[in-house]
Amino acid sequence: MQRERGGGTALRSALAAVVALPLLATCVVAYFLLDTNRLKGPLARVVRAQTGRALTINGDLSIQLGRQLSLSVAEAELGNAAWATDSAMVSVDRLDVTVELASLFDGPLVIEQLRVEGARVRLERAADGAGNWQIFDDDSEEGSGFDLEEGLPVVLRRMKLDDCIVTYGSAQRSASLRLEIVSLAQGADADGFLDLRGEGALEDRPIRIEGGIGPFAALLEGRNFRHEFEIEIGDTRLRSRGSVGDLSLLEEVELVFELHEPDAAFYANLLGVPGALTGSIDLDAAISPNRPGILAEASGNLGGFDLALTGHVEQPLNLDGLEMEFHLAGPDLAVVGEILEVPGLPAGPFEVGGGLRRSGGRFVIRETALSAGGAELALDAEFASFPDPDGGTARVNLRGSDLGRFKRLLGLLPGVHQQPFEATATLTQSRGGEEHLEASIDVGPNRLALDGMLGSYPDYAESRFEIDLRGPELTDLGDLLGLTAAVTGPYRVSGDLAWTGAVLEIEDLAVSAGPVEVRGSGSLKNLPDLGGSSLSLDAAGSDLFAVGQWMGTDRLPRHPYSL
């Protein structure tokens, strides 16, 4: 069945609106002047207006307009972000590109020919996470930038890259990553199959690329095309082959993928986490038709980490009808935390496995368990719209013998030391349709219990809970919090908490510890600075002398008191 192409992809529409239309308008005038170098100024102004970056063309600018639009630029550069190290993000000795004019407005963007000589692309990420490649104000790293239902956004027929270098640097890297493309060429054979050949280097490792994709006409339609590639990066061997029956629905998809590398440490260094991976990398993955949907499986060793995944999905485009089982084990959970930028995870072996299911918008986490650092986590949950807990149910249990191993992760508890712990939380639906949360945390003999209703996602406004914190010895709690507690003996803190989304309301607060009894209420604002907060407290007890001893004096009388 032929698909309606309509307005095309978002990428193609943006290109037409932002670049093509202003360029064509000025091009028509300049065409009769026979001197397209006069377009340098207008083109630079368009780029500046749309990107905020300077476009400088020191060489010739040539434009030819007909059934195809051909652009040739010599000695050009695009300016960098203001915070970046280099003044130019991209520079090129020569750029020649020929585009099917009609494809700017309908169908995939067809680049008939692309030739680049002497390009230098300098990618950089700032300490706050911003990338210098984020040129437009609405740039986002979420999503693919195009809709598979409309096929491929760009199809390239012929290409030739020579002497091109791409570098990537960040605040976390001591030196920039360097990719050199000595040559990369693509051309169509008699059957319309696009052959790709190239060589270069990644850091100090030579690269060889060989393979192809096509036929070209099938790529334009997004149907019945195939690919086969083999890439060598030093001792790394990557092979991929497969076919796609219908890209718009991801139907009749077949893929075989193999990755083998004897020295995983090379890629750990590339990721900026030296020492994170050891041994070899051996990964095999496959996708096959399932009717409806696809089957997928992957297994292998990733530098000391064992991975296994199997599952199927009925609607691959939106992951509806997903059923998946997974297992991951490794020698050091702290390494995983370092790669994922989650500091404080305990060092030592770990193992995680379970099942995931997604159907009709509901997301189910089934019998998922993690063991690491002497602790075990068990999770079962079902959500109508993950991660929103509205309409969901969940049960979580975490227990272990040594909370001290999680001390870095629990930075708010500076006095954590070796002692057993257990945390349990249960989310259920009340008869009124609210999310009822009941939780408890036990650290040694100390227990915190919480019971109440969870507010609306994502700020959980209108949440309200009853809390109860108690234990046999206040000094133990003081040690846990890194505080000095002069009062000894049992303690208890209870009360009602309500979160409005901006203010934490406290009612019926009751604190008892040794001879001290405190009651109060109030509101805490502007957390954690507490500016504008108010709190009213009343203290009473049966023995003022005991309070004096707590304060370091024995001169107060034995008498009831109230403040």
The overall average pLDDT reported for the chain is 85
Phi-psi category of residue 433: left, alpha or beta, with phi > 0 → left and psi -120 to 50 → alpha: left
Mean pLDDT of 531-537: 73
Mean pLDDT of 355-374: 90
The predicted pLDDT at position 291 comes to 82
* 143 has a pLDDT exceeding 50: no
Mean pLDDT of 73-92: 94
The predicted pLDDT at position 186 comes to 96
Confidence class of residue 35 from pLDDT cuts 50, 70 and 90? confident
Residue by residue, DSSP assigns 273-334 as -TTS--S-EEEEEEEEE-SSSEEEEEEEEETTEEEEEEEEEEETTTTEEEEEEEEEEES-HH
SS (H, E, C) 37-75: HHHHHHHHHHHHHHHCCCEEECCCEEEEECCEEEEEEEE
Which is more confident, 221 or 261?
261
Confidence class of residue 482 from pLDDT cuts 50, 70 and 90? low
Confidence class of residue 58 from pLDDT cuts 50, 70 and 90? very high
Mean pLDDT of 310-331: 93
Question: What confidence tens digit (pLDDT) does each residue in 226-271 have?
Answer: 999 999 999 999 999 999 999 888 889 999 999 999 999 999 888 8
Q: Which amino acid is at 491?
A: Y
The predicted pLDDT at position 356 comes to 94
Mean pLDDT of 124-147: 71
The predicted pLDDT at position 394 comes to 92
The predicted pLDDT at position 360 comes to 83
Question: What confidence tens digit (pLDDT) does each residue in 287-300 have?
Answer: 999 888 999 999 99
Confidence class of residue 488 from pLDDT cuts 50, 70 and 90? confident
* 336 has a pLDDT exceeding 50: yes
Question: What confidence tens digit (pLDDT) does each residue in 128-138 have?
Answer: 889 999 987 65
Token match 């206040």: residue? 474
Q: Residues of the chain with pLDDT > 70: what percent?
A: 85
Alpha-carbon gap, residue 400 to 58, rounded angstroms:
66
Q: Residues of the chain with pLDDT > 90: what percent?
A: 48
Q: Which two tokens stand for residue 62?
A: 């040539």
The predicted pLDDT at position 3 comes to 42
Which is more confident, 413 or 90?
90
The predicted pLDDT at position 242 comes to 97
553-556: long-range contacts at Cβ-Cβ below 8 A with a sequence spacing of 24 or more?
A: none
The predicted pLDDT at position 411 comes to 57
- Cβ distance 155 to 220 under 8 Å? yes
Counts for the chain of helices (H) and strands (E), in that order = 8, 30
Torsion of CA 187, 188, 189, 195, to 10 degrees: 60
* 39 has a pLDDT exceeding 70: yes
The predicted pLDDT at position 390 comes to 82
Question: pTM of whole model > 0.85?
Answer: no
- Cβ distance 458 to 468 under 8 Å? no
Alpha-carbon gap, residue 346 to 372, rounded angstroms:
7
Q: Closest Cα partner for 79 from 55, 100, 57?
A: 55
Give whichever of 182-191, 338-347, 484-493 has the largest mean pLDDT.
182-191
Which is more confident, 385 or 193?
193
Mean pLDDT of 215-232: 94
The predicted pLDDT at position 418 comes to 72
Mean pLDDT of 533-562: 72
Mean pLDDT of 48-70: 91
* 19 has a pLDDT exceeding 80: no
The predicted pLDDT at position 514 comes to 72
Question: What confidence tens digit (pLDDT) does each residue in 20-30 have?
Answer: 555 665 555 55
The predicted pLDDT at position 343 comes to 77
* 159 has a pLDDT exceeding 50: yes
* 144 has a pLDDT exceeding 50: no
Mean pLDDT of 335-352: 84
Q: How far separated are the first and last CA of the chain, in Å rounded?
A: 83
Pairing of strands 534-541, 561-562: antiparallel
Mean pLDDT of 493-498: 93
